[in-house]
Structure formats: C-alpha cells, structure tokens
Amino acid sequence: MYKSIVYSISILLLSCYFTTEKKVKQEPVSTISNQGIIDKVDTIVIPSELPIYTWINDYKPQNGLINQISVPSGYKRLQPTHQSFGYWLQFLPLKPEASSVFYHSGVEKPNKVHFRVIDLDTGKRDLQQCADAVMRLKAEYHYARGEYANIHFNYTSGHRVSFDDWRKGKKPIIKGNKVLFSSPTGNTNNTYKNFKRYMMQIFSYAGTASLSKELVSVPIAQMEIGDVFIQGGFPGHAVIVIDMAENAEGEKIFMLAQSYMPAQDMHILKNDYSKAFSPWYRLDFGEILSTPEWSFHKTDLKRFK
C-alpha cells in the first residue's frame, strides 16, 4: 500500500452456535452458484446477543454475512467463540447484492473483483486502503466492546499510538522525522467521532509495512477467522479472513475481504480461479494464494497478537 505521507515518517470466541439463537425461516437471500454447488440461504440466524457495529444505526442480522452467503454443500461454518472477533466478522453487515464498489472519490471501481460489498463507510480521503481497512475492523470490534486498551497500532516509524492514550488527550506530534507525544489533557473523550479521528491518524501514518511487523505468523493449517494475509511494503497488500467452513473430511475453506488502492468500499473477494466455488477459497491452495488483485504465499498468513 502506498501513501506518500508514510514515506515522510518512515525515513523516520460459541463452542457451538448460541444455544439460545433463533432460526427464522424465510425466502432465500442469496444464490451463490449457478452450478448448484452452493446452496441457498433459507434461514436467518438471530443470536441472543447481537454484535455491535457502531457505524450502523439500525443493524439487521438478516443483512449479516452469515445470513447472506451460504457455505458449499457438505460444509458447515466454523463456530467461533461467542462474541469473539471471528464471531463479529461473521455477522458483518453487507450492502444489497447488486451493490458496486466505489472509490473514496465517488467513482465506481471498473474491475469487478467483488462478490459482495461490506456496509462500512470509506470516507472521502484516500486513506482507508488495504491494511487500513483491516485495522479499522479490528479497532471497531474493540471499540464496540469498550476495550479501548486493545486499540493500538504502530506508525511506520515504529512508534506505538494507542486509542487509550488518544482519548485521554495524549496525541502524537509529527516533527520532521520525529514523533513526539503531548501530555494528557486530564479530560477523556470516548466518543465515536474522536475514535474516527484516531483512525484517520493511523491510516495516514501506518500501513502494510508497519502492520506486518505487528502481527505474528501463523501456520496455514491453523488459520482462524480474523487472520490476515499480508505482504508489507510500498506498495504491499493485506486481505482478511472473514469466514471459514469445514466438511466431514476436515477440509476447510475460507472467505476473504479487502480494500485496495485507491481507498474504496471494503468488499468480499470473488474466487476467479474456482468460479463455481466463489467466494470461498480452499485451504489446501498450495504455495500461492491467488486473489483477483494480488498473490500471496501461504507463509504470509498472520494474526493479531
């Protein structure tokens, strides 16, 4: 991911699905494959405790990923721990099926690499690119839970900037190749508006190069929802695993989401290399994971600490 501003400082949990969940019969929401490999969604999963998506005023679980996209025949979704990051990602709100991906400028993205569009604001600046969107999801999850101390990222310079400090008035000050920090003001601002200001700062001074150093490598066989394929660089790229499923033979599949350059709506990627199986990818993809706009090595899989 390239951001010119980065260069200035770089020189510088559902052990089973909820026992109290409700399943409501409804008309099919989405047909994924015209070859019949993937069934239609015919029920709505309504958890007893809805996950929180702060940017959505009226979250409807029927618009969540888990209720919009089915798994292939013979597979069952993995069941993350209740209210874990993986669980939260499985219920991410999606825009209607026919939605297009738009750049931050309002221009429609010409190459159709998306299967569905995630209902997450992009902003009007060219900031929320690939690693930024990944960091946004992780930060939004913790913010919704009031876990402010868990929201922290490093600038490309290596300086750690936390929302816990930011909300107390301790702000980074960029001076040439140096990053200094102001003293706390004595006032605390936990508002979502202030959280968004913090994320804009992170987007401006962090990216794939810094995030890849923060994450820990994970063997491909141990993949979990919320893991990230990432190559740090200028540019680099990052995509996040937002859902997984498994069949009776233990074969696992996964789903990926990304933003890209320039900043654009976050979207679920198609699988152009197995269109009848799209948007799912097989875990046994070999050494190279080919996505519509980037190729990763299986050793590029990492996880938030």
pLDDT for residue 175: 85
Core vs surface per residue 253-286: b (16+ CB within 10 A) or e: bbbbbbbbebbbbbbbbbbeeeeebbbbbbbebe
Which pTM value belongs to this model?
0.87
pLDDT for the residue numbered 3:
52
Identify the pLDDT of residue 211: 98
* pLDDT the model gives residue 47: 85
Write down the pLDDT at residue 38: 56
Sign, CA torsion 122/113/66/285: negative
Q: How many CB atoms lie within 10 A of CB 187?
A: 8
| Residue 77, pLDDT score | 96
Q: Which residues pair with 282 in a beta bridge?
A: 253
Which pLDDT value is given to residue 129? 97
**Which pLDDT belongs to residue 48?**
84
The pLDDT score that the predictor gives to residue 11 is: 35
Question: What residues does each domain of the chain span?
Answer: 4-12+124-212, 114-120+215-303
The three state secondary structure string of 122-171 is: CCCCCCCCHHHHHHHHHHHHHHHCCCHHHCEEECCCCCEEEHHHHCCCCC
pLDDT, position 270: 98
pLDDT tens per residue across all 305 residues of the chain: 445 443 343 433 333 333 334 333 333 333 333 333 555 566 789 888 899 999 999 999 999 999 999 999 999 999 999 999 999 999 999 999 999 999 999 999 999 999 999 999 999 999 999 999 999 999 999 999 999 999 999 999 999 999 999 999 999 999 888 899 999 998 999 999 999 999 999 999 999 999 999 999 999 999 999 999 999 999 999 999 999 999 999 999 999 999 999 999 999 999 999 988 999 999 999 999 999 999 999 999 999 99
- Token pair 């993809």 is found at 285
Provide the residue type at 189 as one letter. N
